[in-house]
Structure 1
Amino acid sequence: MRKVLSALLIVLACVLVPLGGLSAWAKYEIGDTGRYVDTMAPLATGPGVRDVIADTVTDGIMSEVEAGPLEREVRAYVHRAVRSFTGTDAFHAAWNTANRTAHDAVLRALRSDREGAVTLDLAPVTAQLKSRLADDRVPMADRIPVARTEVTVLRAQELNSLRKGFHVLEIAGFWLPLAAVALAAGGILLAVRRRRAVTATALGMALGAALLALATVAGRALTLDGLPAHVPRAAAGAVYDALTETLRAATWFVLALGLAVALATWLTDLRARRRAASAVPVPAPAPEPTRARA
């Protein structure tokens, strides 16, 4: 009965490893605005994101300008100027502000009972960007429109479906990792052969971490394949990689730790068995029977 219960607890602990890791990542990494902004901040220096921003701002400026036959030259000049601006501290500040505003809006919607789509007004960010571009003497920056521009961050049907899952993840992100540790400890303590139980637990957790790593890779491919045609794949891939960096690092750590513990425990068990075998006294051979003299 101890063997069956121990094996059951260890299996449940190993199953909870990928689920606990995913829920903890969603709660403490994606669900925290400060960490989210810190994660997204380095993307402002990436070429993929800078190119997308430069193209978008350039299109906005050129829509307000009639350059006539010199449109190609003017567009190229404006694009170079805006692209240069994306390397400044002012752009980084605007980037962080936009990400913080969008993340706060999504979290407030998920944690409340409000209905309807989650929209974000880009007018304050656009005004800040226009002011910075004008200060840097970017050509025709004063023509950037600063009218109220609402961008749909989360549609109504997506909000309703995500809200329940988000509430579950907020609860599971704290309890599932603790449950995995408690079940593993209980299974090892109940085991008849604890060294073997530790080896099995470590290998099972390493397997769960490997499955989570594969799921992260598959999720990246599915996410990029499901994007609309106008969304740049390079920029979207950079965002996905940045958001899952902590998850991937934790996954590889658990995988390496599990394999190391399993190997160390197996070697310790092998050495203990060899010592036990060498400590057993070899029985002395029985004396030969003496023959009676004639």
Structure 2
Amino acid sequence: MSHRARSAVSAALIVLACLLTPLGALSAWALYGIGDTARYEATMAPLAADADVRDAIAAGVTDGIMREVHVRPRMQGPVNSFVRDAVRSFTGTEAYRTAWEAANIAAHDALMRALRDDSEGAVTVDLATVTERVKRQLADDHMPLANRIPVEHTRITVLAAGDLTRLRKGFHVLEVAAFWLPAASVVLTLAGILVAVCRRRAVLSTGLGTALGAALLGVAIAVGRRLTLADLPPGVSPTAAGAVYDALTSTLRLACWLLLALGVTVAAAALLSGVYARHRQAGTEEAPAEAQAEGASRVRA
């Protein structure tokens, strides 16, 4: 194989590997970060203490209670404030964190069933458990008619039904590719470097391509966040949804930074090794020239 053909094949393999690397990170995140119940639970658990999420929960539960409690118009404002304060206070307790974890596990199970099966309907978080506990707290605070508050299944939409079909197809592809894409990326990278005429240049290109792919994936995550918050169902808090999005994509964003750092490090190492090699070669070429000049001067003497 000629040098030109080897360079072309090497370039094609390295470009393909750099394209597959961010896709491999995305598929691995979908399978092991979102698809795994234990990791999902660990990701969502800290959100129980997030101020925006607590405000959204307090608003949802309060609205659900007020729809079922009939008070005089002039009393609606004070009762609404009293209930909201009670719910907001409850969101700082251990009982709330337990209810939050249980609701999220149920929502995750529903989400996985929706993505892996052909079930229809929106994926929601049921706030009935939170409402029941708030009802008890209001009764303990001697709120009139608190014991008569019905525990309705107030739900917060996590994923709208219209998005399921598109996301289901994408999730199936990512599940299958979670192992094969990273493996293919490594194999193609090694093959591209081995085939290259100048392997140092191939390593440099691989590092720069990996860094560029990681940067593009980071941009895609940011664009996805903006699109997600721009298309929220009515009544969903954008700040709370943003906190959830950031929590779910934290591992993927970390993978982006790691890939970016790896790519820059590999490229810098290849560049510095090239500079060192040229410097060393220049030194070895200067030594014989100096020896020849010294020998010529001795002959003249």
| TM-score (norm. length: structure 2) | 0.85
Of 202, 219, 235, the residue aligned with 1:197 is: 202
Say if 2:109 is the partner of 1:104.
yes
- TM-superposed deviation, 1:134: 0.8
Instruction: Specify the alignment match of 1:291 in structure 2.
Output: none
1:167 aligns with 2:172: yes
Match of 2:7 in 1: 3
Cα 1:270–1:70 shift into 2, 3 Å: same
Q: Say whether residues 1:25 and 2:32 are aligned partners.
A: no
Match of 1:47 in 2: 51
SS at match of 1:231: coil
Question: Using a 3 Å threshold, how does the CA distance of structure 1 residues 40 and 70 change in structure 2: closer, same or farther?
Answer: same
| 1:152-203 Cα deviation digits (max 9, x unpaired) | 7656554333332221110111111111111111111122221111111011
Kept after mapping to 1: 8 A contact 2:6/2:196:
yes
CA distance in 1, matches of 2:19, 2:193: 16
Structure 1: distance between partners of 2:6 and 2:276: 25
1:238 is the counterpart of 2:232: no
The verdict on how the C-alpha distance between 1:182 and 1:141 changes in structure 2, with shifts beyond 3 A counting, is farther
- Give yes or no for the alignment of 1:182 onto 2:187: yes
Aligned amino acid, residue 237 of structure 1: G
Contact preservation (8 Å) 2:64, 2:152? no
Judged with a 3 Å threshold, the aligned counterparts in structure 2 of structure 1 residues 205 and 241 are, in CA distance, closer, same or farther, namely same
Alignment partner, residue 95 of structure 2: 90
In structure 2, do the counterparts of structure 1 residues 157 and 71 end up closer, same or farther at CA, with 3 Å as the change threshold? Answer: closer
Matched, 1:62 2:66: yes
CA distance in structure 1 between the partners assigned to 2:180 and 2:245 by the alignment: 26
Give the Cα separation in 1 of the matches to 2:270 and 2:233.
Answer: 50
Label 1:46 to 1:141 Cα distance change in 2 as closer, same or farther (>3 A): farther
Identity between Structure 1 and Structure 2 (%): 53
Instruction: Answer whether contact 2:19 2:213 (CA < 8 A) is retained.
Output: yes
The structure-2 alpha-carbon separation of the partners of 1:23 and 1:85, relative to structure 1 and needing over 3 Å to count, comes to: same
The offset of 1:94, in angstroms, is 0.8
Name 1:34's counterpart in structure 2: 38
* Pairing partner for 1:267 from 257, 272, 284: 272
Q: Distance in 1 between matches of 2:45 and 2:176?
A: 28
Q: Alpha-carbon deviations, 1:27-48, whole Å to 9, x = none?
A: 1111122211211111111111
Q: Is the 8 A contact 2:34 2:248 kept in 1?
A: yes
Q: Distance in 1 between matches of 2:216 and 2:49?
A: 32
For 1:185, the aligned partner's letter is L
For the structure 1 residues 228 and 153, does the alpha-carbon distance in structure 2 shift closer, same or farther, using more than 3 Å as the test?
closer
1:216, distance to aligned residue in structure 2 (A): 1.0
Aligned partners of 1:199 and 1:262 also within 8 Å: yes
CA distance 1:147–1:74, shift in 2 (3 Å): closer
The alpha-carbon deviation at position 128 of structure 1 amounts to 5.9
TM-score, length basis structure 1: 0.87
Q: Which residue of 2 aligns with 1:292?
A: none
Matched with 2:136 is 134
Compared with structure 1, are the counterparts of its residues 58 and 287 closer, same or farther at alpha carbon in structure 2 (3 Å cutoff)? closer
Secondary structure at the counterpart of residue 282 of structure 1: helix
Q: After TM superposition, give the deviation of residue 116 of structure 1 in Å.
A: 3.2
Gaps of 5+ in 2: none
Distance 1:141 1:261, change over 3 A: farther
Task: Please tell me whether the aligned partners of residues 113 and 119 of structure 2 are also in contact (alpha carbons under 8 angstroms).
Answer: no
- Choose between structure 1 and 2: higher helix proportion: 2
Question: How many equivalent residue pairs?
Answer: 285
Alignment match of 1:72 (pick from 68, 77, 87): 77
Structure 1: 5+ residue stretches without partners: 289-294
Whole-Å Cα distance in 1 between the matches of residues 213 and 184 of structure 2?
A: 15
User: Letter of the aligned partner of 2:64 in structure 1?
Assistant: G
Which residue in the other structure is 2:151 paired with?
146
